[in-house]
Amino acid sequence: MLKNFASVLLRLGINAPDAERLLRDAFIDAAEAYARSHGLRLNQSQIAMIAGINRVDVRAFYRARTRTTKVAKNSEGRMGRVLNGWRQDIRFCTSRGRPRPLTYKGKNSEFSKLVRTYGRDVTTKSFSEQLLRAGMIRERSGRLSIASVQNGKSSEAWAAQADLKFLEAQLRMLDLRTGRRAYATRSASVQVSNRRVARRLQRVTLEKVRLMLTALDAMSERDSQAGGAKSHRIVVTATVATESGSKVQ
């Protein structure tokens, strides 16, 4: 599971140190929720003990940030920091404020300076190769420039973002802190020749799913009207995904 998450995060430009900071913050949030649900004293020492995190880090977590600025800072990732610096830093922009093509060969090249400023300890070569593979930059005439992609994101970044939303959606309806769960899963894969056929099959499948969920909702409504304590529930999440690419199996 963690390997799958790591794969998605890497494609979004979030490396291990960034992910570790996000995970540490998430553990503090989860420990706080755990303490509340179990009637434990809610203080920094208790949170640190439950989460297994140094109390100094827990204290810094509560002092150093509001939730919105922390999430914005960490979710940006190394790739995002470098590309945003490229777009905003006047040293790497044209007179009209647009990111200009940068030389990239040699330690004193313009791209090397950009990476040292915004990419921290990563090497220029490995970072440029990563951006080229992701389709975020392109090379032409001995210079690197930001690729013209939709909303500044490559197809790989769009796919990774979709994967992350899917993984989050699978967990959204569940209260993973309490209770017991039993899962029953069914899956099927259909290969088709083009996107038009794939989308048509997706629409048909989603309509069938909608009818099934409507029937389940009606059954739940009848059960609610019957009264009585409710100690169990059924959670149904249907995902119909389309994949594209020459190597789809």
- pLDDT (tens, 9 = 90+) of the chain, 249 residues, equals 888 888 888 877 778 888 888 899 889 988 988 898 888 888 989 999 999 999 898 888 888 655 444 444 443 567 778 888 898 888 999 888 889 999 998 888 999 999 988 887 678 888 888 788 777 888 998 899 988 654 445 566 677 778 888 887 777 777 776 678 888 888 888 888 888 888 889 889 989 988 988 888 888 877 777 776 677 778 888 888 887 765 544
43, part of any domain: yes
Same domain, 62 and 105: no
- Number of structural domains the chain divides into: 3
Q: Where are the beta strands (DSSP E) in 96-185?
A: 102-103, 137-140, 143-146
Cα 117 from Cα 80, distance rounded (Å): 13
Which residues 6+ apart lie within 8 Å of 194 measured at CB? Answer: none
Q: Are 51 and 58 in contact (CB under 8 A)?
A: yes
| Domain end position, chosen among 50, 75, 100 | 75
Same domain, 56 and 86: no
CA torsion angle for 77, 81, 82, 84 (degrees, to 10)?
A: 130
Residue 2: half-sphere exposure toward Cβ, Cα within 13 Å: 4
Same domain, 91 and 45: no
Per-residue DSSP letter, 54: -
Residue 149: its pLDDT value, please?
52
- Backbone dihedral angles phi then psi of residue 145, each to the nearest 5 degrees: -140, 155
Same domain, 70 and 116: no
Cα 134 from Cα 19, distance rounded (Å): 19
91, part of any domain: yes
Q: Are 232 and 223 in contact (CB under 8 A)?
A: no
Cα 22 from Cα 150, distance rounded (Å): 27
Residue 70: its pLDDT value, please?
45
159, part of any domain: no
Tell me which residue range forms the domain holding 44.
2-75
Q: Quote the distance between the C-alpha of residue 220 and its chain's center.
A: 33
